[in-house]
Amino acid sequence: MQSNKNTVSPPQSRAPRLSPRVLAYWLAASVMVYGLANQYLPSVFLGAVAYLSVFPWLSNLAINGVFRASNQKTVDNKKPLITLLLDSLNVGALITLAGFPMVSGMLLVALLTGWAIYLQGLRGLMIIIPPAAAAISIHLFIEHDFTISAGQDAVFISLLGMLIFISYCAYVLRLREQHFQAIQLSAQQQRQRYSRLASSLAKYLSPQVWESIFSGKRNTKLESQRKKLTVFFSDIKGFTDLAEALEPEVLTELLNTYLNDMSRIALKYGGTIDKFIGDSIMIFFGDPKTRGYQKDALAAVSMAIEMQKHMQVLRKQWIAKGVENPLQIRIGINTGYCTVGNFGAESRMDYTLLGREVNLASRLESAAKPNQILLSHETWSLVKDVVLCQSKGEIQVKGFSRSVPIYKVIDLRRNLGQQKSYFELDSKGFSFSLDTNSIDEFERKKIIQTLDEATQKLLKDDLSSPAKPGRKTIVQTLVK
């Protein structure tokens, strides 16, 4: 089996097997052995050598035995504290037995202090000071009849041991730093890998759903809830016939361009894209985020209006690519209580909607004519003050016992009358669409000049020859 090259394995620790704590005890024992060999220390220190040589292992066995029934987190938290207490007692006792040697004693205290701060921070000082002070104070109550003599070589050996310990600690810290840097690099590579993976997976989910899952706001388990949503359905009229006439490559490019542009508009208005079914699109508003029933419904209708207008641009592009019959979309929108959530199996689920209100939106889309947007009565009642609609009576819908009142969307009220900003007209030999809110001042002058030239040409032709069918409408549109 080949390993995945994109998998980043965690770095292996290169920490030495010998603990600095064990080394410190061994060095202390070695200095005592040197003192015994040169008769600087009395024979009673043979017991101290044996004690220091085995104490690190004995203390570890004892501590592990005490915390054997505890979890690993408790052991990791309490073990350093107990070892510091024991080590501080040993240092204090060692200094007491040695009769407070100035150089060695101060170095031992300095090393113990640094080690305590490294392991526990400033809290380590609060741990070692009381027992160390208590151990040193014992010498006031203990009288021993041996004397310790030391020469310059003994001081040198003590300093050499301290130097070895400090160098070894620096080596261990360097290895740990390198290991930590390797962990940081590995974590950064993992984050980049997961970021690329998340970006790839996000393309299979609506951004709102993806965000709620990755932020932890939504559980990935089979569950649902009832919410009032606005549901949108659209499809391309005559797409099946077009699919039979076009080559697969051309059809794929055409469909992907359409779906990409419609998705961009949907995300602009905050819609949650549920799914693509061929050329059909299902979008809903109100979950995972909602701005209120009315604003969700208005966003859905505004999105539908912009989609219809954008089809003018797409039709021109498709005609340029050889699509003879201009494609047109039909749209149905309904508002009502739906069941929304995760449906499917534990291993494969889909975040979608269920309910009769969803079915009604789909039926309205099927009943709509090309270039038409049909609304249910519930949606119309929420947007009628902002969107101009025309009542189309009632229709019988499959699955509904009563007739359903429907409304045809004309446009946003702000785009009508004196404030009208959008104009369009399609006929043989003439295609015209204009959004005055989307053009800049420089382009505006060029457009006016072009329209004026076209109007004068049509008026001149009208005077010199009988008007052709449809020309009067075109002239009226340009004159307006």
Domain-terminating residue out of 418, 442, 460 = 418
**DSSP characters for 356-398?**
HHHHHHHHHHHHSPTT-EEEEHHHHHHHTTTEEEEEEEEE--T
pLDDT tens digits, the chain, 480 residues: what are they? 444 445 555 566 565 677 777 887 788 788 788 878 887 777 877 888 888 888 888 888 887 777 776 666 666 667 777 777 777 777 767 766 666 555 555 556 666 666 666 666 666 667 667 766 666 666 556 655 555 555 667 677 777 777 787 787 778 778 888 888 888 888 888 888 888 877 777 667 677 776 776 666 666 677 788 999 999 999 998 888 878 878 888 888 888 999 999 999 999 999 999 989 888 999 999 988 899 999 999 999 999 999 999 998 888 888 877 777 768 899 999 999 999 988 878 777 888 899 999 999 999 999 999 999 999 999 999 999 899 898 999 999 888 888 999 999 999 888 776 556 666 666 666 767 676 766 777 788 888 888 888 888 877 776 555 555 555 555 555 555
Q: Tell whether 194 is covered by a domain.
A: no
Residue 133 lies in a domain: yes
| Number of compact structural domains in the chain | 3
Do 135 and 34 reside in the same domain of the chain? yes
Pairwise CA distance, residues 51 & 477, whole Å: 106
| Lookup result for tokens 């059909």 | 280
Same-domain check for residues 176 and 117: yes
Looking at 158, 186, 214, which one is the last position of a domain?
186
> Which one of 374, 393, 418 terminates a domain?
418
Distances (CA, A) of 212 to 208, 217, 220, 231: 6, 5, 10, 20
User: 206 in a domain, yes or no?
Assistant: no
Q: Does one domain contain both 65 and 109? A: yes
> Residues 412, 478: one domain?
no
Same-domain pairing of 258 and 333:
yes
Domain check: are 25 and 151 in the same one?
A: yes
Residue 449 structural domain = 421-480
Amino acid at site 151: G
Tokens 């004693």 found at: 105
Q: Please check whether residues 323 and 354 belong to one and the same domain.
A: yes
Judge if 370 and 232 occupy the same domain: yes
On whether both 327 and 240 belong to a single domain, the answer is yes
Asked if 338 and 358 sit in the same domain, the reply is yes
Q: Same domain for 401 and 435?
A: no
For tokens 């119309």, the residue is 380
- Whether 4 is covered by a domain: the verdict is no
CA distance 300 to 43: 94
The CATH number of the domain where 255 resides is what? 3.30.70.1230
pTM confidence score: 0.57
